[in-house]
Structure 1
Amino acid sequence: MRLIPNFIINRKANDLILLQAAWREWLAEDAPMIAYIFKVLLACLLAMWLSLRFELDQPRTAMMTVAIVMQFRSGMVFAKSYYRFLGTSVGILVSFLLVALFAQERILFLVCMGVWIGLCTAGSMIFRNYQSYAFVLAGYTLCIVGLPSTLTPELTFNIGVTRISEILIGLICATLVSDLIFPQRMWDVMLAAIRRRFKDFSDLMQTAAVKPVASTTSTPTLLRFLGDIFSLESFQASAGMENDKSRLHRQKLSRMNNEFMEVSTSFHAFEQLLRRQHNITQPQVSDALQRVYQSLSAAIMVEGRSAQTEQEAMIVSRQLSAFRNQFSANIHTERTRLRADVGATERLDFETGCELLQRLTDELYVYTSTYASLAAAQNSNVAVTEIAQTPKLEMHFDPLAVSLAGVRGTLSLAILSALWILTDWRSGVEAITLGVISSTLFATTPSPTRTIKNFMIGAIIGTLLAYFCNFHLLTQAHGFWMLAVAVAPGIIIAAWFTTRPATAIVGAGVFMVYLMHIGFNSAYNSNPVTFINDAIADLLAVLISGIMYGLIDLSSSRWSRQRIAKSLRNLVVAACRDPVTLRRSRLETGARELVQRAGSAQRIGDKEDRVVIEWLLSTLEIGHAVVALREYLQMVEHPYISKMLSLGLESVAQLYDAPSEASRIQAISTIDHAMAEISQANIDFNLPQANQHKITVMLHFIRSALLDEESVLVAGAQATLEKH
């Protein structure tokens, strides 16, 4: 018998392994995109068939609804459909009201419409997630229903009922197809995001433990975590409509978001402290703290690697619990080593680092325990308890930015309405509708000007596809299946664009314009002259919206960045001065959301936005110390010590209210004086030793941060000096 050589067997085995790996990669990356494109096409064709079956006027409205609400995940489709229905219903009711009041007064109708568009645009800037989208829908639905009704007021009710019927068909088709055909659950995405975030943060801590202090910086990774926090909140809002598992863990995920914000900020504060100690050549102190920190980083590892699942996080939680029990002993050992080698200032630096490490350890343990609890079965009683304990993410925004966004939407409507009235343009309604849509829909994006450019590219591609479909394919279509074949290529191309984040806005433009120009309603009625007029109207509307974004785009202006920086500093001022102590979660949410809404976290590479990021980190670092100091201040009973601490807090407030070198020096001097007085308080005023230690450590931490020559406070003071 002739045997097969071993190298042939090995080669076949290797080929099989490579083939299996390629198959798994295809299933993970390409298959979901193909399934999504198929689902979009199926839902659009189903909506078209039902609209034709019920003899509705504009099947393309149902198809456009499908294109707008269709997402990769079923929960996102449910949430977007729900808020689209709410927004559309409100917009139709307002349309009925305005037509009833101003049916014969086109100017008054447009004035009221402009006010409504401005209010809805402002509302979309205030709220987050799909609540924002509902405001956008309530705005431009008035154009879709109200403007045609001004031409034929007697048909207003019929137009409104027909439009909402078409939209409902689109919503039903999208949700059914998304949930029944290759469903993709939000819970799986959220769980994967939580696992990835825990793993990445563990890797970040491990990297900081093994690399020299001067060569590490966590800022880019922490900013990515900033985006993940709000993305996870958006996912959570969508997942609540998906299944019982998502709803059961919803409040727990919200709590994890808040806990992670605290952990990441404490980690950054500790990293900054190590950097400052390294820069002022205190190797004994930094080495001692680094040894304790290395023990902490080892406690979050499982067999030398980061935890991959919540089951492994349970192991990490037990290790962190053991580390917390040994923390005092570890600190005592390092403190004993330092006593003979360093002076009083260096020992205080060490105690400050120990306080931050203690806080980081406690917060990391709480966060890990919450994450690990996802592996355990939850009953309804636990879920109810969590609802009462979970803090909510509050909304923070720039009122001026909201106002200007509303003005921008109103001005876009005013310009297009003037063109319509003065020229009696046949396609004026089309131009106003798309102009309002594009001027309100992208107001909340990080870079509206860039977004509208991509949308314009999509609009041009959609116009070309619609022309080819109307005058080369639809003319040959007989029957539903031929009609489906005619419209399918454009839908597939648009859906393919939306599968990639870089071209998603292009795909939205393709979808919007292509379906608006499809040359059939209940019957084929495409006319070349009408098509060209409508195409010019759409492109002109998008162009005017782009011009308005260019003129009123706060996200890319230096003045806007200064306002965001000022708003961040005001959070520290409020923490120092407000009668009610600013809660830490409120400080975290306020600072991070201001930066998220401004879009600076997505533009970290830009030099101008780096200033905003530095103010964010400074706000969180000093703000946490101020909040802790305010909490300790409540335990101080002697009026003189309270006065010293209040003066120190007021000096910090004055510095952040108007950064200058003089204010910085004054704040450092005031804190030095307060520390000197408190050092004698144990003798003179019988201040408890524990309280004295905590207060001194926090004051020293603030002082060291203010002394940092690389701090944004120094750069801000220099900028103020140059300005004056």
Structure 2
Amino acid sequence: MSADWLLRRGFDGGRLCFASRTALACCLAVLVAWAMGLEHPQWSGMSVWAAAQPLRGQLLEKAFFRFAGTLVGTGAGVLLVLGAPLHPGILVLGLALWVGLCTWAGNLQRGFIAYGTVLAGYSASMVALLDTAHPDRVLHLGADRLATVLTGVVVATLAGYFLAGQGGVADLRARIGGLLVDLLRHLAGTAPAEGRALLSRIAALEEGLDPHAAGSLRSRREVRASRAVLLAAMPLLLRAEGAAPVPVPLARRLADAAGALDRGDAAAACRILATPEGDDELRRLVQGLAEALRGWDAHPVPPAAPPPVALHRDWIGAREAGLRAGGAMLLFGLIWLATGWSLGPFMLLGLSVMISLFSTFENPAQMMRHVSAGQALGMVAAILCHWLLWPLARTELQQILMLVPLLMLAPLLAGHRRTMLAATDYSMILLLMSQPHLPLQEGLPDLLLKGLAVLAAPLTAWAGYRLVYPVSLQRRQRHLVQMMLRDLAAIADNPDALARRRVWQARLYHRALRLVRLSERLAGARDRALAQSLAILTLAHAAMRCHALLAAPDTPDPTRRAAGLARRRLARIARDAGRAGPSLDRLAQRLDGAEAQAIRQAARGLRHVAPAA
């Protein structure tokens, strides 16, 4: 009854319990850090909120990268402060370069290592900017920062480890098995599956893999093997789209393998798929799936490397994020130096977090609205605490105890669907502005000015995300299409493409899955993205086929010339996509059977990529 009551009022019981546990651990961490005599015990509470995760593996891995990133960032901050006496600009320029570099690198990575890399950037800000008036204390401040973070990480890990879940690996494997069953039956012609729907399912499964990789090397190998299976299924799906039906003997084998997988016998499915019938290309694709399936079925997953998995990296977005973060830090750092604004360091500190951490989100400008709301609530709570409660305190312990009820409001924000994205920032700002200290040194005007400096950071970051290399789902989608076309052109242009076929294809397949998944968050973009992905992938297969025809000694001269011309036109597809179509049609006329049909399908797909090119 109580769960239904909460649900009707917009609360999620699971999130509410998790946030309540985290808030209690936050309060405990602040008390422990204060009892240890640390100067900034509130930083321990901030680390609890930053490290908390609902799954055990995620909790352990994020805690590790939280501390590792802080350690590296603290060292960089200390070095910058030690160099500042030579010239004040060294601090600003060095901080801008460091934050920009960490933001660039973080946007090229995945999972919690990306978080740790970005954290290393703004951790330097926390050391270099919080006590600029006393550079002689920077080593003490750095040691205090490390100690408080470690305290928070330890408390968060101990508080959450035994209550955190372990993740649904069995459910994930069942979903991958079900997908393979449907795909094999689709290839065999025994199930009315639709190719685009299967591609969408593959994309959804691939996106959900990374959380399962956290926490252990075995989990990483499991996820790598699962991803290899999904990527090996991609070319078979392409082969089924628009190509001639598979030979009847192979169709029977595929149906038998699907039945074995449906019974949970992946080993039998591997044996059935190991020696398929059909043309050379089809046999190679089916054997590739069998190889990936063999590595995925092993328990525990063997240390031997499965088929190559080359992942998408957003080089365009990473470069833009690094330039945006470094440029913003440099611009406002120079304004601070020119004006001497006493709260400039506080504003720069917040900006370094907003402009770097949230750049890894798919739509950071939209996130800034929730962040601003959470920080505004945290600022109000901090001011009320300083103004109304802390004047009554006689000890620092009483100050911390008076802060606890305000910290325990965070679970209510986290548990409600409308305010859940603002809850963490509420806690972070409340803690950042609430250092226990007697006697009180800041009056109400000082607190208001500090609060305005805090709010200036997300507003400035929002303007940066909207005006400087604007970040949106649509723009990320265009970047993916551009990179896929560059991959296609590179495959066509590289004479050694056949030797690196599996690596090229794995990266291209992964980018196609990312494009499909991203488009599903955009109204009306899903069908176009599915068509673009399938078109570019079929064109890549056509380019590989051109290389194979050119490499074969028995290829007739007219076919060789047609393949060479089609390959050269595909290498220039980003500049002139229209000329590749006639070349592919002429090549198809010199082939027969499934080969000719696949080349014609690639030529038809040009209409989907020509506008993007």
Which TM-score band applies after superposition, normalised by the shorter structure? Answer: 0.7 to 0.9
Task: Specify the alignment match of 1:86 in structure 2.
Answer: 68
Following the alignment from structure 1 to structure 2, what is the Cα–Cα distance between the partners of residues 203 and 113? 53
Paired-residue identity, %: 18
Number of the residue aligned with 1:391: 308
Map 1:306-345 to 2 at 5 A.
307=262, 312-314=263-265, 317-318=267-268, 321=271
CA 101–73 in structure 1, closer or farther in 2 if over 3 Å, else same: same
2:387 is the counterpart of 1:405 = no
CA distance, structure 2, for counterparts of residue 165 and residue 50 of structure 1: 11
Does residue 97 in structure 1 map to residue 55 in structure 2? no
Work out whether 1:226 is the aligned partner of 2:203. Answer: yes
How has the CA–CA distance of structure 1 residues 421 and 654 changed in structure 2, closer, same or farther, with 3 Å as cutoff?
closer
Tell me the alpha carbon deviations over residues 496-554 of structure 1, each in whole angstroms, 9 at most, x when there is no partner: 55568986542332232222223525776663222211211111111000000001245
The answer to whether the 8 A contact 1:190-1:232 is kept is: no
The equivalent of 2:229 in structure 1 is: 259
Structure 1 residue aligned with 2:484: 568
Identify if the C-alpha distance between structure 1 residues 235 and 556 changes in structure 2 by more than 3 Å, giving closer, same or farther: same
Q: Tell me if structure 2 keeps the 8 A contact 1:136–1:441.
A: yes
Task: Please say if 1:54 is aligned against 2:36.
Answer: yes
Amino acid at match of 2:48: V
Task: Indicate if the aligned counterparts of 2:73 and 2:121 stay in contact, CA closer than 8 A.
Answer: yes
Among 439, 443, 467, the residue aligned to 1:527: 443
Identify if the C-alpha distance between structure 1 residues 152 and 211 changes in structure 2 by more than 3 Å, giving closer, same or farther.
Answer: same
For the 8 Å contact 2:329–2:352, the answer to whether it is kept is yes
Find the counterpart in structure 2 of residue 548 from structure 1: 464
Hey, what's the Cα distance between the residues in 2 that align with 1:118 and 1:630? 41
Which runs of 5 or more structure 2 residues have no equivalent in the other structure? none
Give 3-state SS (helix, strand or coil) of 1:273's partner. coil
Given that 1:633 and 1:645 are in contact with CA atoms closer than 8 Å, whether structure 2 keeps it comes out as no
How far apart are 1:263 and its partner, in Å? 0.7
The one-letter code sitting in structure 1 at the alignment partner of 2:101 is L
CA pair 355-394 structure 1, distance change in 2 beyond 3 A: closer
1:667 matched to 2:589? The reply is no
1:615 to partner: Cα distance: 2.8
Task: Name the CA distance, whole Å, in 1 between partners of 2:75 and 2:105.
Answer: 18
Query: 2:329, 2:348 within 8 Å by CA — same for their partners in 1?
Result: yes
Moved more, 225-234 or 543-552: 225-234
2-structure distance, mates of 1:220, 1:484: 54
Q: C-alpha separation between the residues in 1 aligned to 2:416 and 2:238?
A: 33
The match for 2:215 is 239
Deviations 1:426-462 (A, max 9, x none): 3222111011100000111111211222222222232
Contact between 2:543 and 2:567, CA under 8 Å: does it hold in 1?
A: no
| In 2: Cα distance, 1:458 partner to 1:217 partner | 44
Which of 147, 159, 165 is 1:184 aligned to?
Answer: 165
Distance 1:524 1:612, change over 3 A: farther
Pick from 582, 592, 600 the counterpart of residue 703 of structure 1.
600
Aligned counterparts, 1:347-362, within 5 A = 362=287
Are the counterparts in 1 of residues 379 and 430 from structure 2 also a CA contact under 8 Å? yes
Q: Give, as a single letter, the amino acid of the residue that structure 2 aligns with 1:318.
A: A
The 1-side partners of 2:307 and 2:417 are apart by 32
Are 1:617 and 2:510 matched, yes or no?
no
Q: 1:495 to 1:267 in 2, by over 3 A?
A: farther
Provide the rounded CA distance (Å) in 2 between the counterparts of 1:34 and 1:502: 13
1:596/1:446 CA distance change after superposition, 3 Å: farther
**Distance in 1, Cα, partners of 2:495 & 2:293:** 34
Q: Which has the larger radius of gyration?
A: 1
Provide TM-score, normalisation by structure 2: 0.85
Greater shift in the superposed pair: 635-644 or 456-465: 635-644
Map of 1:13 onto structure 2: none
For 1:193, the equivalent position in structure 2 comes to 172
Does 2:289 correspond to 1:373?
A: no
CA deviations 1:317-366 (Å, max 9, x no partner) are 536745877x75xxxxxxxxxxxxxxxxxxxxxx88x965x666545545
Task: Name 1:339's counterpart in structure 2.
Answer: none
In the aligned structure 2, how far is the partner of 1:78 from the partner of 1:441? Answer: 20
Quick one: which amino acid aligns to residue 537 of structure 1?
Answer: A
Bigger share in helix: 1
Gaps of 5+ in 1: 1-18, 241-246, 275-284, 329-350, 680-695
CA 666–227 in structure 1, closer or farther in 2 if over 3 Å, else same: same
> Which residue of structure 2 aligns with residue 343 of structure 1?
none
Q: TM-score scaled by structure 1?
A: 0.73
Q: What is residue 158 of structure 1 aligned with on the other side?
A: 140
The answer to whether the 8 Å contact 1:122/1:403 transfers is yes
Give the direction of change, closer, same or farther, for the CA distance of 1:529–1:104 in structure 2 (3 Å limit). Answer: farther
2:455 aligned to which of 511, 532, 539: 539
Aligned to 1:421: 337
Residue 664 of structure 1: how far off its partner (Å) = 0.8
Is 1:170 aligned to 2:152, yes or no? yes
Identify the structure with bigger relative contact order (alpha carbons < 8 Å, sequence gap 6+).
2
